[in-house]
Structure 1
Amino acid sequence: MAIEFNRIITLLRKERGITQKQAAQELGISQAQLSHYEKGIRECGLEFVVQIADYYNVSCDYLLGRSAERSGQTIKVEELPDAGGATSGSIYRGSVLPTMYKKLIENSLDILFDRLDQCRDKRVVTSVSNYLMLAVYRMFRRLYQAAPGNVASMFRVTPARWERDADAAMFLQEGELSATMAGENGACPDPAAFEMNTETLARDYPRHATSLMNLIKNSEEVIHKHNA
């Protein structure tokens, strides 16, 4: 929890575009004390948690990493907007879990592709889209092959090599994207299309930002779990 707190208060300060000295002065503490809080060297008291929550206009739950939403809102599956499609809003076999994850992913992709549209760089759009299609392909094929009765000839890439080839193709798409963003494939894409922070995301995508923030939170919990 402490790790989340120091990461988030540093993030909020940088998103506001103020120095550590300025924030410390406005909070009525020394810069050294704020620096220790941001680095996780010292733990603050509850009174300071409330004070800094008011200062950045966020909830204490958000500061402590208990909520991915700045307001501290805990989402329910029925509160997530539908992204469209034949199965939108449906409950799979009486369970809300697939529906919730589907909405988190779809709504986050809406934001991602809106940014790609603003970028207007075919190379970036192609690399990102190919990578995502390959990820879906890998998961679908793994589930498909779990049933022995499913016919393998549905796919052109053979069972012996599809996994390695898909992995390699995904790495190549990441490499193409990195090279494009670094200007190695010609002119660099305009970085303005990708300038964002938690506040602007909530403002620009009021219906979908909650999904993205929760997708990020869930993904990083999975990462931490496997790194533990």
Structure 2
Amino acid sequence: MNDNFPRILTLLRKENGVTQKQAAAALGVSQALLSHYENGIRECGLDFVVRAAEYYGVSCDYLLGRTPTPSGSKNDAGGASAGGKHDSLLGAVRMLLTMAERIGCERLTQEVEGYLTASVYRLFRKLYRIHPRNESGFFTIPEPRAELKARCRIEETAAETEILVKDSCCEKLLTAQEREKGLLTTDILISDYGDDGNAMLLLVRQEEETLK
């Protein structure tokens, strides 16, 4: 089959809150065989792929890892086919900001915004240097200092976000209610975040292909 199928098959079952025993019964196979499919020990036939896709309400292409979204569209990212090739990136950024605001922790929102702002600022300064006639006076902070400060700002906001998310200092900075609002499944990404959720799904798949 492929490496994606076992992962996605398992992910769908867990996201839907279904036990392996329940899924096996619904799909007409033994629990042991389903376990083999989910762990990539054995390959299934096309008939099982079709049954599993129908059971979880996704396309066969999604189940096989050929498309990033459950609908099966290869370009399903906030109208990317009509809006341009950067739509998945822009939509994913909006999704991050929306998620941070939805969680309701002001400090978390500030750290996410700070990370994104410093990253954009740093990249803009790099691109600004392409043309020799671009005036350095456009900026109020000299280049070496700006680069180092922006880099530090990115690392600082990333660290602060991790402290909040992982509760690294055992301060319980995020309440149980706020953490509950951070629940994410494929269905939630699509239903709650719409086109921006689809954009995030597409970005994740594309970037992971790049990082392999």
Structure-2-length-normalised TM-score: 0.86
| 2:184 paired with 1:200 | no
Deviations 1:17-38 (A, max 9, x none): 0111221122121222211211
The alignment's C-alpha RMSD in Å is 2.4
Deviations 1:195-216 (A, max 9, x none): 1211122222333332221111
* Percent identity of equivalent pairs: 38
Q: Is the 8 A contact 2:68 2:201 kept in 1?
A: yes
Q: Is the 8 A contact 1:81 1:208 kept in 2?
A: no
Structure 1 residues 135 and 70: alpha-carbon distance in aligned structure 2, compared to 1, 3 A threshold: same
| 2:100 paired with 1:100 | no
Give 3-state SS (helix, strand or coil) of 2:85's partner. helix
- Specify which of 131, 145, 148 is matched with residue 115 of structure 2: 131
Moved more, 66-75 or 149-158: 149-158
1:2 paired residue number:
2
Q: Is the 8 A contact 2:59 2:71 kept in 1?
A: yes
2:70 paired residue number:
70
Structure 1 residues 64 and 186: alpha-carbon distance in aligned structure 2, compared to 1, 3 A threshold: closer
Moved more, 182-191 or 16-25: 182-191
Number of equivalent positions: 208
Shift of 1:11: 0.6
Distance in 2 of aligned mates of 1:51 and 1:76: 23
1:61 paired residue number:
61
Distance in 1 of aligned mates of 2:9 and 2:172: 38
| 2:15 paired with 1:31 | no
| 2:133 paired with 1:149 | yes
Deviations 1:142-178 (A, max 9, x none): 2111222222233344333544443332121111111
Unpaired segments ≥5 residues, structure 2:
none
2:202 paired residue number:
214
Shift of 1:104: 1.5
Distance in 2 of aligned mates of 1:50 and 1:24: 14
Structure 1 residues 5 and 191: alpha-carbon distance in aligned structure 2, compared to 1, 3 A threshold: same
Distance in 1 of aligned mates of 2:117 and 2:15: 32
Structure 1 residues 205 and 122: alpha-carbon distance in aligned structure 2, compared to 1, 3 A threshold: closer
